Structure 1
């Protein structure tokens, strides 16, 4: 079997996003979970920073170096023949060009980039700063000749005491990310709020990514709310943890 090239995988990921139904990207963390998701019929995957860190006994929030992340995700990407996106947190202190170069080197064709810089005290990038970083990613991918899918994430809702208070600011930030070259946007922390999700999906022209729980949430609901991309964050791994506990419980001493 001839495996697709990195460029072909990137083009395939772009095509999948163009479909009218939400693109569900199971969030995986190792070769086993990646192969299992592909065997279940999914045409693309994402590797989450939180489940990846948990699987390696490391801390999320940039508790691993960029080099360690690349070493961990490379075998996962190589183990499947579908496009794989990688959650690269806030960039691990890397310049955009170096982040994209490392991703492409291990075969990744998409990335998630957030505005909470955990390696710098957990500060949140300003709107222009985050947009400029995304613009650097877009330029680096274009220069490399690989149409890397950039998912621009904001944590404003998650940090706010009342998420509705930051709706206007969040929409301004998401629009700035689109203008900078983000292919999709990811407002974290509003997956259970119909009103906020609808407001966001109606305010931007690109696919909006929502976190989902594979058991507790409903795909049709996200479709009705205009969500066009779904990832699980750490919630698939947590669901598997709950299932494993239930399976093992009768055997425990």
Structure 2
């Protein structure tokens, strides 16, 4: 399956009328295991990828580090569409980011509005939308249906906004207008917030969940009932495996 076909497949999976679950993997082994479990597409989380490399999240990895991990994962599952968390873009221009990401084999990406290389400041609404738009334009020029998942940290920037729901809606609407193909208001606190976002946005919405505990908006069945289009686990899948790993090896001490 060539990269353009994988990209279109991933995009189509967001519009089937059912909730798409994209488990977050971090290396070739985890990607192979999850793909063999029957998931039609995968997501690479920056946090678990960084942990697997002995580095920190929030762009402690360089873009070269991140792309090295992404390339290894995509090569391990060549028939499976993979989307990757590219944090806030690693300070790279949109055209270069898209070119290098596609070369590594990924067909989707997350881009957040917290700029880690600049002290963790939050991009302005138009600034973030402009970057998202430039990424979409670069992908279109390459002839690839890159799934641009625009993320906002409006909910996790505690105390910054009087009305985080309204702020998240404003930011995600601007990104949709600029060409994003999915919206990721990370940390939406409850089902009411998720419903407000679903009502206000035209395209798919991504919710983070814990694979053992569900999401802030409820279980997978609850998310399906709400009409959530996409679920990812962020670093939570890797974190949930740690106690199991420790318990497995502990009797052999």
TM-score of the two chains, using structure 1 as the length reference: 0.95
Number of residue pairs aligned between Structure 1 and Structure 2: 248
Task: Judge which range, 49-58 or 222-231, deviates more.
Answer: 222-231
Q: How far apart in 1 are the matches of 2:162 and 2:230?
A: 22
- Quote the residue 2:45 is aligned against: 48
Q: Render the CA deviation track for 1:204-249: whole Å, top value 9, x for unaligned.
A: 0111000011111121011122211001000000111121122233
Q: CA deviation at 1:250?
A: 3.2
Q: How far apart in 2 are the matches of 1:75 and 1:244?
A: 23
Detail structure 1 runs of 4+ shifted over 6 Å in the superposition.
Answer: none
State whether residues 164 and 196 of structure 1, in contact with CA within 8 Å, keep that contact through their aligned partners in structure 2.
Answer: no
Corresponding position: 1:214 with 2:211: yes
Q: How far apart in 2 are the matches of 1:120 and 1:205?
A: 31
Point out where structure 2 has 5 or more consecutive residues left out of the alignment. none
CA RMSD of aligned residues (A): 1.3
Q: CA deviation at 1:112?
A: 0.4
State whether residues 25 and 46 of structure 1, in contact with CA within 8 Å, keep that contact through their aligned partners in structure 2.
Answer: yes
Counterparts in 2 of 1:197 and 1:164: CA distance versus 1, 3 Å: farther
Equivalent runs, 1:106-121 vs 2, <5 Å: 106-121=104-119
Point out where structure 1 has 5 or more consecutive residues left out of the alignment. none
Equivalent runs, 1:157-176 vs 2, <5 Å: 157-161=155-159, 165-176=163-174
Q: How far apart in 1 are the matches of 2:161 and 2:43?
A: 26
Q: CA deviation at 1:202?
A: 1.2
- Quote the residue 2:249 is aligned against: 248
- Quote the residue 2:95 is aligned against: 97
Counterparts in 2 of 1:162 and 1:97: CA distance versus 1, 3 Å: closer
Counterparts in 2 of 1:163 and 1:194: CA distance versus 1, 3 Å: farther
Equivalent runs, 1:176-187 vs 2, <5 Å: 176-187=174-185
| SS at 1:157 equivalent | coil
TM-score of the two chains, using structure 2 as the length reference: 0.95
Counterparts in 2 of 1:35 and 1:180: CA distance versus 1, 3 Å: same
2:14 to 14, 17, 36: 17
Q: How far apart in 1 are the matches of 2:224 and 2:156?
A: 22
